[in-house]
C-alpha cells in the first residue's frame, strides 16, 4: 500500500521494477486515487469556491473565469455556487464550502451595506477562518479591521468621475444619473463620482436628475420612460450599469430618439454586449476577470511576508460611440 502511494504521488523514490509493477496493476484494476481519502489524510488539494448570484450575468461570469483560471494555474479546482439573490441560500453555500474545507470562499457581487450584512459576513469570516479557509469579498462592502477576510474592490467613484467628466467635456450640462439602488456600496460610489465630476466642472447638483433603480435592463427601460416624459431638458445619461444603459437605449430609440445625437449615454461595467450594440456603448471598464484572479492569489498567498488583505483595482473609461456633443434644443 505504501509503495503504491509513493508511486502515485512521486513523494519518495521507488525502484524501477516496483514502479512498473504498480503501474501495471493500476492499469489492470482501473485504480483511481480517492480525493476524499487524500483530503482526509491531510495532503489536500483544497478547492476554491466562488459564490455569486447568477452565472449568466456577464460580470459575474468574468469574475468566475478569473477565479477559475488562477485556481487551475495553482492546481486547484473551483466550485461555483449560485444564490439567485437569496441570502438564505448564500448562508447554506458558505456553510457547504466550510464543510468542504475550501481553501478560499469568494463572495462576489454588490450587497446592501447594513448592520445585518456586517454581522452576518463577519460570522462567515470567523467560522471559515477557524478551519483555515479564507473569506474573500469581491466588490462588496469591506468589514471592519480585525475580521479575518480579504477584500478585492474596484474604484467605483473614479470610474464614475471619468464617465461623467467625459459627458461634461462634451458640453453636456443636464445629465441624468441612474446610479443604482440606495445603500449599495457600488451605487453610492458611482453617485459620489457623479457629484464630484459636476462639482469639478462647476455644474450644480440637481437631486431631481437622480433616479434610483437597480442594475437590470428593466430598470433602464423604466428610467427611459420617465426621462422621455419628465425631463426634456436632459441631453445625456450616466447609467449605473451597461444593462441599464442598454434598456434605456432600447426604449429611447423606440420612441424615436436618435442616438447619440439627441441623447448621449455612458454605461458602467463594460460587458461584452456593450461593444455589440449600435451605437457602441461608451462605458467604464471594470477589471472583473482580474478581480477574480486577484481574489484567489491573495487568499492563497496570505502566508507570505507582506500579506495584503485589501486591494482596490483601477477602473477606466472605454470610449466608444454613444457620446456626442449636445444637440441644440
Partner DNA sequence: TTGTACGCGTTATCAG
Partner DNA sequence: CTGATAACGCGTACAA
Chain positions contacting DNA, by CB under 7 A: 1-6, 8-9, 11-15, 17-19, 31-34, 37-38, 40-43
Does the protein bind its own copies through residue 64 (CB under 8 A)? Answer: yes
Does the protein bind its own copies through residue 262 (CB under 8 A)? Answer: no
Q: What nine digits make up the cell of 266?
A: 455612458
Q: How far is the CB of 77 from DNA (least distance, A)?
A: 16
Q: How far is the CB of 106 from DNA (least distance, A)?
A: 24
| Residue 324 contacts which entry, DNA, its own copies, none (Cβ below 5-8 A, type-dependent) | none
Three-state SS for 154? strand
Residues 6+ apart with CB under 8 A from 281: 242, 245, 246, 249, 265, 266, 267, 274, 275, 320, 321, 322
As a whole number of angstroms, the distance between CA 209 and CA 172 comes to 13
Does the protein bind its own copies through residue 15 (CB under 8 A)? Answer: no
| Residue 9 contacts which entry, DNA, its own copies, none (Cβ below 5-8 A, type-dependent) | DNA
Q: Which of 4, 23, 26, 77 is the binder for its own copies (CB under 8 A)?
A: 77
The answer to whether 311 and 153 have CB atoms below 8 angstroms apart is yes
Nearest residue (CB) to its own copies, 17 versus 30: 30
Tell how many helices (H) and how many strands (E) occur in the chain.
Answer: 11, 11
Torsion of Cα atoms, 185 then 238 then 319 then 168, to 10°: -120
Residues 6+ apart with CB under 8 A from 165: 197, 200, 201
Nearest residue (CB) to its own copies, 3 versus 39: 39
Only segment of 56-64, 169-177, 197-205, 310-318 that touches its own copies (CB under 8 A) = 56-64
Q: How far is the CB of 264 from its own copies (least distance, A)?
A: 17
Q: How far is the CB of 8 from DNA (least distance, A)?
A: 5
User: Which whole-number Å values give the CA distances from 9 to 13, 14, 25, 269, in the listed order?
Assistant: 10, 11, 16, 44
Residue 269: other Cβ atoms inside 10 A = 26
Long-range contacts of residues 81-84, Cβ cutoff 8 Å, at least 24 apart: 81/49, 81/50, 81/51, 81/52, 82/51, 82/52, 82/53, 82/54, 82/55, 83/51, 83/52, 83/53, 84/53, 84/54
| Residue 116 contacts which entry, its own copies, DNA, none (Cβ below 5-8 A, type-dependent) | none
Does the protein bind its own copies through residue 56 (CB under 8 A)? Answer: yes
Q: What nine digits make up the cell of 9?
A: 504521488
| Residue 43 contacts which entry, its own copies, DNA, none (Cβ below 5-8 A, type-dependent) | DNA
Interaction mask 105-144, its own copies, x per CB under 8 A: ----------------------x--xx-------------
Q: How far is the CB of 22 from its own copies (least distance, A)?
A: 17
Nearest residue (CB) to its own copies, 232 versus 272: 272
Interaction mask 17-36, its own copies, x per CB under 8 A: -------------x-xxxxx
Nearest residue (CB) to DNA, 18 versus 126: 18
Q: Which of 254, 268, 266 is nearest to 322 (CA)?
A: 266
Q: Which of 64, 66, 61 is nearest to 273 (CA)?
A: 61
Residues within the interface to its own copies (CB under 8 A): 30, 32-37, 39-40, 44, 47, 54-56, 58, 61-62, 64-65, 68-69, 72, 77-82, 89, 96, 98-101, 127, 130-131, 217, 246, 250, 253, 272-273, 276-278
Amino acid at each position: 500500500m505504501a509503495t503504491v502511494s509513493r508511486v502515485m504521488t512521486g513523494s519518495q523514490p521507488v525502484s524501477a521494477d516496483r514502479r512498473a509493477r504498480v503501474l501495471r496493476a493500476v492499469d489492470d484494476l482501473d485504480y483511481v486515487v480517492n480525493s476524499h481519502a487524500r483530503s482526509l489524510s491531510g495532503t489536500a488539494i483544497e478547492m476554491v469556491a466562488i459564490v455569486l448570484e447568477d452565472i449568466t450575468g456577464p460580470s459575474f461570469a468574468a469574475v468566475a473565469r478569473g477565479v477559475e483560471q488562477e485556481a487551475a494555474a495553482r492546481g486547484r479546482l473551483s466550485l461555483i455556487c449560485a444564490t439567485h439573490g437569496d441570502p438564505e441560500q448564500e448562508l447554506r453555500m458558505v456553510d457547504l464550502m466550510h464543510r468542504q474545507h475550501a481553501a478560499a470562499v469568494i463572495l462576489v457581487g454588490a450587497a446592501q451595506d447594513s448592520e445585518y450584512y456586517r454581522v452576518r459576513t463577519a460570522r462567515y469570516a470567523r467560522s471559515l477562518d477557524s478551519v483555515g479557509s479564507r473569506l474573500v469579498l469581491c466588490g462588496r462592502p469591506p468589514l471592519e479591521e480585525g475580521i479575518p477576510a480579504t477584500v478585492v474592490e474596484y474604484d467605483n467613484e473614479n470610474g464614475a468621475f471619468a464617465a461623467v467628466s467625459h459627458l461634461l467635456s462634451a458640453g453636456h450640462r443636464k445629465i441624468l444619473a441612474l446610479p443604482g439602488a440606495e445603500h449599495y456600496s457600488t451605487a453610492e460610489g458611482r453617485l459620489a463620482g457623479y457629484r464630484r465630476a459636476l462639482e469639478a466642472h462647476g455644474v450644480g447638483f440637481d437631486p431631481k436628475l437622480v433616479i434610483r433603480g437597480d442594475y437590470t435592463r428593466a430598470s433602464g427601460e423604466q428610467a427611459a420612460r420617465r426621462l422621455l416624459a419628465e425631463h426634456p431638458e436632459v441631453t445625456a445619461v450616466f447609467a449605473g450599469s451597461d444593462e441599464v444603459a442598454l434598456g434605456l437605449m432600447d426604449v429611447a430609440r423606440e420612441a424615436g430618439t436618435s442616438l447619440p445625437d439627441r441623447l448621449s449615454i455612458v454605461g458602467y461595467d463594460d460587458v461584452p454586449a456593450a461593444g455589440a450594440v449600435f451605437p457602441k456603448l461608451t462605458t467604464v471598464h471594470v477589471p472583473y476577470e482580474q478581480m477574480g484572479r486577484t481574489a484567489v492569489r491573495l487568499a492563497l498567498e496570505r502566508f507570505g511576508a507582506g500579506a495584503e488583505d485589501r486591494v482596490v483595482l483601477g477602473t477606466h473609461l472605454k470610449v466608444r460611440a454613444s457620446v456626442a456633443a449636445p444637440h441644440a434644443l
